[in-house]
Amino acid sequence: MASTNYATLNDAATVPLPFPQRSEERQPAVPKVGRIQLQKQLDSILKGIKSSVIKGTVESVFVSLSRLYDILRIVEINTSEGGPLPVTLAAFSLVHNESKYLIQFIEKDTPRVKSIKGTLRHALNGMSFILRHELKRVYSQDLAVLDKELKANQVRADVMRAHGLLSNCFQQTILILAQVFDPSVSGKLLFDDYRERLVQSNTLIKDLSSLVNLARRAGEQRDTEASDLLIRDLKAFRNGPLHYLMYKDWDEFEDITREVSSSHGSARHSFMLHCFATYLEALIMQVQMRAVLNERPPEPQEPKTTKKGRSRRC
């Protein structure tokens, strides 16, 4: 049974990635460094599993999740290079279909493996719940509102938000399963961009907090020096750490900083500084909620059951 299921999941992995064949030399490649790093760690985990049945089942899940993660990296590259939207949407469609196959495998096939129980069973149930929740959130909300009539920057913001949610979901589910067999495994070891995103998030919190302090000082104490420093630091932030924010926040940040700069020296400046400080504090809270700042992934939750004992699906 385990080998049959594994073959079924591998069938999905043979589907070609959605890029136009006529411009093959210009197609973005899947980042190989990250894939090698992830595969090396997962191979080490699989090597330590003694039961061949459990090993085959876990390997099937790892293979599927790794491929899904790879496809999303392609979405990121295609979008950042200004690639055509249909390619991105085709990739998202492929992710959706293969994710549903994976959920079906976890929910219907793995329960037939009697040796899968305890912590592993709990982790698989939690992974299924998380996958269903995030797929519904992305495909019925974020991607559902995409429209050809939207401006390019808005489309890109929606695409990158969906990409971020799914990428984080697949990273966290891989980590949940890996830690069943090796609790010492961390996101830093599994994913090449994990440490970079951690550094970026910490940098954001530090720089945004500094801007808040300057804005409060300039607004409440009518400190001209602090106001001048704020305007200077805002320019530096917009040329650097701004890009660590989610893409959807860029335009809003630019709009409010323009208001702060244009009001400099006027009676309205104090009010704008108060609004800006409040806005920055909300941004800091968003950054602090990033999963990368928490080394330990969210605790898998068992799907709630009805009185009849059936699981309630999201």
3-state SS string over the chain? CHHHHHHHHHHHHCCCCCCCHHHHHHCCCCCHHHHHHHHHHHHHHHHCCCCHHHHHHHHHHHHHHHHHHHHHHHHHHHHHCCCCHHHHHHHHHHHHHHHHHHHHHHHHHHHHCCCCCHHHHHHHHHHHHHHHHHHHHHHHHHCCCCCCCCCHHHHHHHHHHHHHHHHHHHHHHHHHHHHHHCCCCCHHHHCCCHHHHHHHHHHHHHHHHHHHHHHHHHHHCCCHHHHHHHHHHHHHHHCCHHHHCCHHHHHHHHHHHHHHHHCCCCCCHHHHHHHHHHHHHHHHHHHHCCHHHCCCCCCCCCCCECCCCCECCC
pLDDT tens by residue, 39-65: 888 999 999 999 999 999 999 999 999
Taking the C-alpha atoms of residue 27 and residue 19, their distance in angstroms, rounded to an integer, is: 7
Asked if residue 307 is part of any domain, the answer here is no
pLDDT at position 151 over 80: no
> How many other C-beta atoms lie within 10 A of the C-beta of residue 215?
26
Domain count, the chain: 2
pLDDT of amino acid 74: 85
pLDDT at position 278 over 70: yes
Q: Are 171 and 191 in contact (CB under 8 A)?
A: yes
Which of 98-102, 166-170, 221-225 is predicted with the least confidence, judged by mean pLDDT? 221-225
Domain membership of residue 219 as a residue range: 197-292
Instruction: Answer with the residue of higher pLDDT: 137 or 118.
Output: 118
Taking the C-alpha atoms of residue 66 and residue 223, their distance in angstroms, rounded to an integer, is: 53
Taking the C-alpha atoms of residue 276 and residue 208, their distance in angstroms, rounded to an integer, is: 11
Taking the C-alpha atoms of residue 281 and residue 287, their distance in angstroms, rounded to an integer, is: 10
Q: 29 pLDDT band (50/70/90 cuts)?
A: very low
167-188 mean pLDDT: 88
Taking the C-alpha atoms of residue 243 and residue 160, their distance in angstroms, rounded to an integer, is: 13
Taking the C-alpha atoms of residue 263 and residue 286, their distance in angstroms, rounded to an integer, is: 27
Single out the residue in 140, 173, 192 at which a domain terminates.
192
In a shared domain, residues 137 and 178: yes
Q: Are 263 and 269 in contact (CB under 8 A)?
A: yes
Name residue 148's amino acid. K
Single out the residue in 175, 192, 209 at which a domain terminates.
192
Q: 305 pLDDT band (50/70/90 cuts)?
A: very low
And the tokens for 241? Answer: 């750490």
32-36 mean pLDDT: 60
In a shared domain, residues 149 and 12: yes
In a shared domain, residues 135 and 267: no
111-127 mean pLDDT: 93
pLDDT at position 102 over 90: yes
Handedness of CA 91, 97, 101, 103 (dihedral sign): positive
In a shared domain, residues 97 and 184: yes
In a shared domain, residues 185 and 212: no
Taking the C-alpha atoms of residue 110 and residue 103, their distance in angstroms, rounded to an integer, is: 10
Q: Are 152 and 123 in contact (CB under 8 A)?
A: no
Taking the C-alpha atoms of residue 241 and residue 249, their distance in angstroms, rounded to an integer, is: 12
Name residue 143's amino acid. L
Asked if residue 105 is part of any domain, the answer here is yes
pLDDT of amino acid 3: 38
Taking the C-alpha atoms of residue 214 and residue 279, their distance in angstroms, rounded to an integer, is: 14
Q: Which of 259, 255, 253 is nearest to 282 (CA)?
A: 253
pLDDT at position 249 over 60: yes
Instruction: Answer with the residue of higher pLDDT: 105 or 39.
Output: 105
In a shared domain, residues 32 and 155: yes
Asked if residue 301 is part of any domain, the answer here is no
Asked if residue 183 is part of any domain, the answer here is yes
Asked if residue 313 is part of any domain, the answer here is no
**Statement: the pTM of the whole predicted model exceeds 0.85:** no
Asked if residue 297 is part of any domain, the answer here is no
Asked if residue 300 is part of any domain, the answer here is no
